[in-house]
Structure 1
Amino acid sequence: MGHRKDAPPCAEAPGSPAAPRRSDAQRNRERILEVALAELTRSADAPLSVIARKAGVGQGTFYRNFPSREALVLEIYRHEMRQVADSAAQLLSTREPDCALRAWMDGLARFAMAKAGLADAIRQATSGPGSPAKPGHTPVTDAAELLLRSCEEAGVIRPGVTADDLVLAIGGLWQLDPTEDWQPRAGRLLDLVMDGLRAGAPGR
């Protein structure tokens, strides 16, 4: 299936399905994760009591969701990784495959910055004896493969690119400083990678 030469530029597709209504418990959990990501990115030693207060939940609610700092840190990491992985199919359902891939790469950049900002907290959570292992990257790798194969079938990228190739190509994301204005540089880097993927595509 060839890519239409007159296809519109990558943009948000109209009529995307609305998110299902979440329960209060789910909203509390997601609010804790959102606040904890911001606070622990600023300081790996951010007090859990401060995170609970800024999330607007009581100590009991907080500890029912996350009984320890280690559990909180690793759930933030898993949550961010799941968000990136799950977005691949959603993007493919509303965009041209190459536009979906480019939008997904923006999400991967945000994940890279979250991981970099949480590096100290993750290290503390996984370094002690008996500490839980840091999650792997399989869901993200699987999502990358889904997007790349969809693009290849549509003829909009060069054939044969693997998820490992893509991760290596965008490895510079992990060198950016999450405390600085990283978005413009990340955008330029990802545009260069996307141009390289499109070069020589049979459908273009």
Structure 2
Amino acid sequence: MKYKGIIFDLDGTLVNSLEDISDAMNTVLTNLNYPTHTYDAYQYFIGSGLRNLVSKALPASNNSENEIEVCFENMIAEYREICTLKTKPYAGIVELLDNLVSRDIKLAVFSNKADELTKKIASEIFPNYFNTAVGLSSETLKKPNPFEALEISKNWNLKTEEIIFIGDSDIDMLTATNANMFPLGVSWGYRTEDELLASGAKLVINTPSDLIEIL
């Protein structure tokens, strides 16, 4: 099979955004005199969207829908200001993208991060690489719902089996499987190789350059 398109997850796959996300949420928690969390803890909060992260970060005694909504809005406001402050591409990612562009492989980003922020980070950190960067616009379209991935394949006029879906979490591997795309896990993100394989990864790579060997 000759792969003609690649859809990337964003956080934990293309960029290490852990510190910016954590700092924004911890600011919200501090302002409310709630306990904050370490970067290691936030590593397991990331993956199912920022609203879900807010719910996990709040104390169990202050986790009403209203509290989640207010804190989510405050977190987004904080994060919008700093979302590219410490966030950086993982080592080898830019070189990988250059290689893929030279091969005329179509590239897209599909994240559970808010659509506005997904587009902002993708365009500022990776200008000229991604014609399509899609984030979360509705909870019903959240990964592992494959809808957006399938829309990307239609826009590309490619069969789903011609597309690799790359991510660092179980959610990404389930999305790839649901979309009938090749589920490729990365070991440098926020989850373990065992978790990726258990959730459907056909292969887990350890460095961005490993992808070139697959192609």
Whether TM exceeds 0.5 here: the answer is no
The TM-score range, normalised by the shorter chain, is 0.3 to 0.5
- Scaled by the length of structure 2, the TM-score of the pair is 0.33
Give the greater-gyration-radius structure (CA). 1
- Scaled by the length of structure 1, the TM-score of the pair is 0.34
In terms of fraction of residues, the more helix-rich structure is 1
